Copies of this chain bind each other. A is one copy, B any other.
Amino acid sequence: MVLLSGGMDSCVCAALAARDHQAAAVHVSYGQRTEERERRSFESICDRLEIRDRLLVRNEALRAIGGSALTDPTIAVPEDHGVGASLPAVGIPVTYVPFRNAHFLAVAVSWAEVLGAEKVYIGAVEPDSSGYPDCRPEYYRAFNEVVKVGTKDGTIRVVTPLIAMHKHEIVTLGLELGAPFDLTWSCYQREDRACGVCDSCVLRRRAFRDAGAEDPISYAEAAARLS
């Protein structure tokens, strides 16, 4: 079982899962700005990786609750036009969706119980990422304890194969695995063409640059000076 948002990290994670197992994939849309586009990426990545068992569900709660630039249209997505990092030096950015990954993991673990899957892959990444509290190893250690005591057999495990990797290493790994980066979507705010300047686009472009690789998608705004 792999949680596949359609972004570059989860795509590499899905490629890993599909290489080692007969994989099933879950996608949760939650009223985020780029919901439709991410859903298309999920489907096409599954097609390319030949993952047949798919679960696509909508989560109504995260949008209703808001509190994030990704789910509340009145909070702007921060941009970095080359004059400095848009991510705050300390603290958690406004793109943090409160306790989001618990919603996703709950869906994946419930389905894993019914399907009899043993592992839930999630492409959480700590270094070079946005500082979200639910992307840290201690979060997954704690969550695995919940899974162990809160499921029928207690045998399902959440695995985070990318968690300690730098983004450029993830690009390199993905290229080795043949992960379909051309089908992924990372941009937080646009669905027609990636903006190139939101946190997520900036982190992705930097990752491809540092890996010495070409990003197969195109951007609306050229990145003159990625810091």
A-side residues, CB < 8 A to B, are 28, 55, 57-62, 64-67, 92, 96-103, 105-107, 109-111, 113-114, 133-134, 136, 138-139, 142-143, 145-152, 154
Contacts and interface: CB of A to CB of B under 8 A. Distances in A.
Nearest to A137: B149
Given A99-B110, A152-B133, A57 B67 contact: no
A199 to B, nearest CB: 17
Contact of A106 (B58, B60, B64, B102): B102
Contacts of A154: 133
Given A61-B106, A102-B150, A145-B145, 13 more contacts: A57-B60, A57-B61, A57-B64, A59-B60, A92-B152, A98-B109, A99-B106, A99-B110, A99-B150, A100-B110, A139-B150, A142-B146, A146-B146
Contacts of A151: 98-99, 133
A110 B67 CA distance: 9
Contacts of A138: 149
A64 B55 contact: yes
Given A106-B99, A133-B151, A151-B98, A65 B142 contact: no
23 contacts: A28-B61, A61-B107, A65-B107, A65-B111, A67-B114, A96-B152, A97-B110, A98-B111, A98-B152, A99-B106, A99-B110, A99-B113, A102-B102, A102-B150, A103-B107, A133-B151, A134-B150, A138-B149, A139-B149, A139-B150, A142-B149, A142-B150, A146-B146
A50 to B, nearest CB: 22
Nearest to A91: B152
A147 B146 CA distance: 11
